[in-house]
Chain A
Amino acid sequence: EADIYQTPRYLVIGTGKKITLECSQTMGHDKMYWYQQDPGMELHLIHYSYGVNSTEKGDLSSESTVSRIRTEHFPLTLESARPSHTSQYLCASSVRVLNYGYTFGSGTRLTVV
């Protein structure tokens, strides 16, 4: 059973629209991440947060923005969507304890037309 939730699961929107992808986790993890993945390709880190009011840009440049006002919530926003933003977006969270890795959400598949 998932402890990290992403909504929506699928989204088709028109160019120029503003969208927010939601990510919430119930595990109390401090660290949260957003990855972007084109179909069948590797995952690229676009944003991460190590705690409330902490956000950093990842290795892949992205026009999206994030916020971390509450520990459990890490939304990603695109102010003006473009077809180049079409991709799958995966949210993850982690805690650094022995033998524990990262938990991934089910992903949001975004199509901009």
Chain B
Amino acid sequence: ELKVEQNPLFLSMQEGKNYTIYCNYSTTSDRLYWYRQDPGKSLESLFVLLSNGAVKQEGRLMASLDTKARLSTLHITAAVHDLSATYFCAVDIRGGTNFGNEKLTFGTGTRLTIIP
């Protein structure tokens, strides 16, 4: 059974600081996703990471993937208050032998609070 773990679960940091959220998963996967969720809202797609060594950046967020270590990181640079949200990683696995029968399994989420 696939397990996806994130840490930390809660993160409170000051504006201007850097920090990293970690996502570990337990079985082979070919795609990893990062989402943002504001309170009471749906999910906003941030990054799709497709291969080992993939790195993507958007503004103050940068995500990377190490498939050998089964680890992805979401790095926040010079945090600003607008980045306060819950961040989820999710892993895509194939069900059975049929190509394309994937399901998305989510991590526990990291609730990020940026303090002015």
Chain A residues packing against B (C-beta within 8 Å): 31, 33, 35, 40-45, 48, 50, 58-59, 90, 92, 94, 96, 98-107, 109
Contacts and interface: CB of A to CB of B under 8 A. Distances in A.
Contacts of B48: 99-101
Interface stretch (B17-25, B62-70, B74-82, B100-108): B100-108
Nearest to B107: A42
A102 B109 contact: no
Interface of B: 1, 31, 33, 39-43, 45, 48, 50, 86, 88, 90, 92, 99-109, 111
A48 B33 CA distance: 18
A59 B33 contact: no
B100 A92 contact: no
Interface of B is mostly: strand
Given A42-B88, A96-B100, A98-B50, A104 B43 contact: yes
Contacts of A33: 103-104
A92 B54 CA distance: 25
Given A104-B43, A109-B40, A58 B102 contact: no
Contacts of B33: 101-102
Contacts of A103: 45
